[in-house]
Amino acid sequence: MSYTTTWHVLDMKRETSNGYVYDVLLQLKAIDDVDSSKIFAVNHSVHLSRPETLGIAYSDLTEATVIEWCKKLMEESQIEPDLSSLQWIENKIKQEMEDGIGQGLPWT
């Protein structure tokens, strides 16, 4: 089975005094490459540690930048000795797609 996975930021929590983003709600969505009605999505919250200095102003953040921060952190965090949280989510999506589990609404 072949499918395409997309990443989206659904929401972020931040400190309003300085724009520090400390929590990101992501959605990873897999869509079958042959039958676009076969969709599976996983929402995942990522907690970001405070850096020494805030390098990008909140108003200058892009979805791509925040997703890269989250991917990096997920690659570095281990759920099991040989399994990062990123690998765990990717495995979950792959398994659900292969098992024919879908989600979504019939209307847009």
pLDDT score, position 74: 93
Beta-bridge mates of residue 32: 3
> Going residue by residue through the chain (108 aa), what tens digit of pLDDT does each one get?
799 999 999 999 999 999 999 999 999 999 999 988 888 889 999 999 988 888 899 999 999 999 999 999 999 998 888 899 999 999 989 898 888 888 777 786
Cβ burial 1-13 (10 Å sphere, 16+ → b, else e): eebebebebeebe
For the chain, what's the residue count?
Answer: 108
Q: How many CB atoms lie within 10 A of CB 40?
A: 23
Phi/psi of residue 37, nearest 5 degrees: -80, -10
pLDDT score, position 108: 60
Q: What is the pTM of this model?
A: 0.85
Note the helical H segments in 1-108.
63-76, 85-98
